[in-house]
Structure 1
Amino acid sequence: MKTIFITGASRGFGRLWTEALLERGDRVVATARNLTDLEGLKEQYKDRFLPLQLDVTDRHASIDAVNKALKYFERIDVLINNAGYGLFGTVEETTEEQARAQMETNFFGLLWVTQAILPVMRSQKSGHIIQVSSFLGLTTLPMLGLYNASKFAVEGLSETLATEVVHQNIKITLIEPNGYATDWAGASAVQTESGITDYQPVRDAFATAGEDVSSWGKPGATISPVLDLIDNPEPPLRLLFGKVAYAAVEQSLNSRLQQIHHWKDVSIKAHGH
């Protein structure tokens, strides 16, 4: 039995994984902005389930939530940073408020919860932090510029963190899903205003690509991989979820490597000696 702290637990991946962990006998601290959707789980699993209201963008509230979880369960084995949402629209049409809000939740919210949990895991000399990133933290799609940027930031932060805590027996894993049939692109998503007609071809192409049902993964298919990941004593730093993610990232990395090789002489010349 492990104790798992998971953010964004009221819907989507968070809800599915919370239920699966409880069903197999783990103890779960589930945070969400609204706890109404989690009331049934509390009735069913009682002392093994601790729902906590949390806005991850509030650093002090994140620390308080971790302290409550530690007091209740006395340890935290796994953190799953799942809270986040999608912001759809072109870079130019994104407002300052939308851009800052996207980074506040997807990047800073993840950072605050990670910082809050690290003292617990350092004290235990063990732990596993699972960051729900995206394949769009390794490659990009148009119409998701700020979302891409937030996930690129999560990737850089988490890869660095892995090198800083490895001697403390703390593992870091970045889960990088492609699109899944959750409400990430629906009720949870934010849209920019689409007032610049020059971008209409980009919007149309993006909308057409999104109509391909085969490109969207089935959320339930992630349950077994997540449970296996939690149980693995040597988890990977990165784990792609979905065949679209695998193909897109493989193509992107190969293309990037080819370009680096092509410009090798210029790169070396720029060193100066």
Structure 2
Amino acid sequence: MAKIIFITGASRGFGRIWAEAFLKRGDKVAATARNLEALKPLSQQYGDALLPLQLDVTGKKASFEAINKAKEYFGRIDVVINNAGYGLFGAIEETSEQEARDQFEANVFGLLWVTQAALPIMRAQGHGHIIQISSILGVVTLPTLGVYNASKFAVEGLSETLATEVKDFGIHVTLVEPNGFSTDWGGASAIHSTQLPVYDGVRAALQATATPDAFGVPEATVDAILKLVDEQQPPLRLFLGKVGLPFAKQQYAERLATWEAWSAVADAAHGK
């Protein structure tokens, strides 16, 4: 049975690749973009199977309207993929107030509005799957991406909580954790804070670790996403790529060792 899928940020990158993959196999897609021109080729090829919607997810009212238009057009929404967002590059000290607020508006609040809009529809249906595109940087961190890291950590906490709240309504939640992929996430889609020379060494050290093999091929994610969408009991988290899970395991081993080393101090702080 064809799925009805609502996906944000479908003009390029993962969103565009996945939207086209869904349409190609016969699913119906409500695809959002800030510029609808980017979706014209898909509209021309797939006709009524695609509902293109202009949307800036940072607008709560607009996000609710887009979800409701998709429901009215297709009759239901089986899957919501919150893919819209971008990367903010800059050390914590370098990041301006506006840059930090804009990052959270797009990556956290935009995702929240779309999620809130979809939940009543999915509850009424008795089924649904909300897929939040997070990042390996929502599990562990890298320097000079601090506010981006923080936005994805917020998505993790919000979505893990959501999963416990809606499971009895037949609604599943999955956090997708890509490692680096060869999209324009670090290029045209990114925002860069004004750099302070004092952090040049930190940037250089990070860049030295970015070998070509560390970045996955975006198109190779299609089979994983199709499998995730079709899964009857989807996981809470799905890593994409070969780099993320080993990195997370290494970091968590170090965290656990530190926590254990300080466990006596922690126990004493309980007071009884």
TM-score (norm 1): 0.98
Alignment-derived partner of residue 271 in structure 1? 270
- Partners of 2:126 and 2:263 lie apart in 1 by 43
Alignment length, in residue pairs?
271
2:217 is equivalent to residue 207 of structure 1: no
In the TM superposition, what is the alpha-carbon distance from 1:259 to its structure 2 partner?
1.3
Superposed CA deviations along residues 13-35 of structure 1, whole A, max 9, x for unmatched, are: 00000000000000000001011
- Partners of 2:237 and 2:261 lie apart in 1 by 27
- Partners of 1:139 and 1:6 lie apart in 2 by 26
Query: Secondary structure of 1:181's match?
Result: coil
Letter in 2 for 1:74: G
- Partners of 1:44 and 1:204 lie apart in 2 by 44
Letter in 1 for 2:186: A
Alignment-derived partner of residue 169 in structure 2? 168
Query: Secondary structure of 1:185's match?
Result: coil
- Partners of 1:80 and 1:226 lie apart in 2 by 10
Query: Secondary structure of 2:143's match?
Result: coil
Letter in 2 for 1:81: N
2:260 is equivalent to residue 256 of structure 1: no
- Partners of 1:268 and 1:203 lie apart in 2 by 39
Q: Which shifted more, 248-257 or 221-230?
A: 248-257
Alignment-derived partner of residue 95 in structure 1? 96
- Partners of 1:31 and 1:175 lie apart in 2 by 19
Alignment-derived partner of residue 131 in structure 1? 132
- Partners of 1:198 and 1:29 lie apart in 2 by 46
Q: Which runs of 5+ in 1 are unaligned?
A: none
Query: Secondary structure of 1:243's match?
Result: coil
- Partners of 2:10 and 2:188 lie apart in 1 by 15
Superposed CA deviations along residues 14-58 of structure 1, whole A, max 9, x for unmatched, are: 000000000000000000101111101111111111000000000
In the TM superposition, what is the alpha-carbon distance from 1:243 to its structure 2 partner?
1.1
Q: After superposition, where does 1:230-241 map in structure 2 within 5 Å? A: 230-241=229-240
Superposed CA deviations along residues 155-185 of structure 1, whole A, max 9, x for unmatched, are: 0000000000000010000000001000100
In the TM superposition, what is the alpha-carbon distance from 1:272 to its structure 2 partner?
0.5
Letter in 1 for 2:165: E
- Partners of 2:240 and 2:99 lie apart in 1 by 27
Q: After superposition, where does 1:182-197 map in structure 2 within 5 Å? A: 182-195=183-196, 197=197
- Partners of 1:217 and 1:40 lie apart in 2 by 26
Q: After superposition, where does 1:1-40 map in structure 2 within 5 Å? A: 1-40=2-41
TM-score (norm 2): 0.98
- Partners of 2:33 and 2:121 lie apart in 1 by 21
Root mean square deviation of aligned Cα:
0.7
- Partners of 2:88 and 2:209 lie apart in 1 by 17
Query: Secondary structure of 2:77's match?
Result: coil
- Partners of 1:75 and 1:9 lie apart in 2 by 20
- Partners of 2:118 and 2:103 lie apart in 1 by 22
Q: Which runs of 5+ in 2 are unaligned?
A: none
Identity %: 59
